[in-house]
């Protein structure tokens, strides 16, 4: 009887311990923020700010892990195939979430199908820029030069299917110009390429463009916001330049594998919204032309749905499908 009683006590203790482990509240270890781009671009900057501000809400470190390649699809696929436990979170954007999968035929990931939205962090103003060595000082100058010298200017992008690739292809069609595409492996290398005059035209997010504009190596030509940013009051908007129905804005949000538990998504969403409300985050956003968004996961879901309603037809019209 003694042995039987000891066995039952031990079994009950083991069961209790197992139940305790199973009910450990999320998160009980660090969370990885997967950035599907190299360091230096908008997604990477947002990730590093969020890693600083979300840890207070979650009570855990958030580790930024850059996994670039294939216009963001390598990192996107990594998250889509990760365990749906909330410890692997994608810092996603219009480039890798909607555009690149439409352009690249060989992709094995479908972000709309394979990922669940956590929330939309920011929308960012874009800046069409040129290298200062071109001597071009306005969008009118660039369009006139490109028309007089078809194919002589190069434009750079963060990769085939990236937001700034599609946006410049749209712009080329609207402006009636012929300039040659040079894809880079992310926004960081693209910025270096523009500053070094490897390419003469690009669409950068405002925060990234400031590095070159402050040094004088980059000339801003036009901004994508609805109104002029106070930081660059002399740079006209697209609407002022005659492109009022053209919206090549950037957005950045968070997503997780599609089977992630709703309560985990809620915790991540709450931590995201808390981070976006912090003074430090809002100050950085204001200084860099970001609109802080936040809200429920549905806000990101609706944004993705709107993109998917528009861009398949645009990409087909521009004949941008790639192998």
Work out the pLDDT band at 19, boundaries 50, 70, 90.
very low
What domains can be seen in the chain, in order of their start residue? Answer: 31-123+250-318 (3.40.190.150), 126-223 (3.40.190.10)
What's the pLDDT tens digit per position in 63-113? Answer: 999 999 888 999 999 999 999 999 999 999 998 999 888 888 767 899 999
Strand ranges across the sheet with 202-205? 202-205, 126-131, 218-223
Q: What does the pLDDT average to over 279-305?
A: 93
DSSP SS3 for 64: strand
pTM passes above 0.75: yes
The proportion of the chain whose per-residue pLDDT surpasses 90, expressed as a percent, equals 67
> To which H or E segment does residue 312 belong?
helix 297-318
> To which H or E segment does residue 160 belong?
none
Identify which of 227, 185, 177, 235 has the alpha carbon closest to the alpha carbon of residue 210. 235
Whose structure tokens read 């660059």? 232
Residue 239 buriedness (CB in 10 A; 0-12 / 13-18 / 19+): middle
What's the pLDDT tens digit per position in 147-204? Answer: 999 999 999 999 888 889 999 999 999 999 999 999 998 888 999 999 999 999 999 9
Which of 42-51, 147-156, 207-216, 249-258 shows the lowest per-residue confidence on average (mean pLDDT)? 207-216
Contacts 24+ apart (CB under 8 A), 275-278: 275/49, 275/50, 275/53, 275/54, 275/57, 276/53, 276/121, 276/122, 278/53
Token pair belonging to 245: 């129905």
Token pair belonging to 118: 């956590």
SS3 content of the chain, % helix, strand, coil (to 5): 50, 20, 30
Looking at the predicted structure, is the pLDDT value of residue 27 above 90?
A: yes
Identify which of 269, 277, 72 has the alpha carbon closest to the alpha carbon of residue 184. 72
């Amino acid at each position: 009887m003694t042995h039987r009683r000891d066995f039952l006590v031990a079994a009950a203790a083991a069961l209790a311990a197992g139940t305790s482990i199973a009910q450990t509240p999320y998160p009980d270890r660090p969370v990885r923020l997967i950035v599907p781009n190299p360091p230096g671009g908008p997604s990477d900057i947002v990730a590093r700010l969020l890693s600083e501000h979300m840890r207070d809400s979650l009570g855990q470190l958030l580790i930024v892990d850059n996994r670039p390649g294939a216009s963001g699809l390598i990192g996107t696929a990594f998250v889509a195939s990760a365990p749906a436990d909330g410890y692997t979170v994608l810092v996603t954007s219009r480039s890798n979430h909607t555009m690149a999968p439409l352009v690249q035929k060989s992709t094995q990931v479908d972000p709309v199908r394979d990922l669940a939205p956590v929330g939309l962090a920011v929308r960012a103003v874009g800046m069409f820029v040129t290298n200062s060595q071109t001597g071009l000082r306005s969008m009118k100058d660039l369009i006139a030069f490109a028309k007089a010298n078809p194919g002589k200017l190069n434009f750079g992008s963060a990769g085939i299917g990236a937001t700034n690739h599609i946006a410049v292809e749209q712009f080329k069609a609207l402006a009636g110009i012929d300039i040659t595409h040079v894809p880079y492996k992310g926004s960081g290398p693209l910025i270096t390429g523009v500053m070094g005059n490897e390419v003469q035209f690009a669409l950068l997010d405002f925060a990234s463009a400031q590095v070159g504009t402050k040094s004088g190596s980059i000339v801003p030509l036009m901004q994508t916001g609805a109104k002029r940013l106070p930081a660059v009051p002399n740079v006209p908007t697209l609407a002022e330049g005659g492109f009022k129905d053209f919206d090549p804005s950037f957005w950045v949000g968070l997503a997780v594998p599609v089977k992630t538990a709703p309560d985990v998504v809620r915790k991540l969403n709450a931590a995201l919204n808390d981070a976006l409300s912090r003074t430090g985050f809002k100050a950085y956003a204001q200084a860099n032309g970001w609109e802080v968004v936040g809200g429920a996961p549905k806000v990101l879901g609706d944004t993705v749905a709107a993109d998917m309603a528009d861009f398949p037809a645009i990409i087909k019209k521009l004949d941008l499908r790639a192998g």
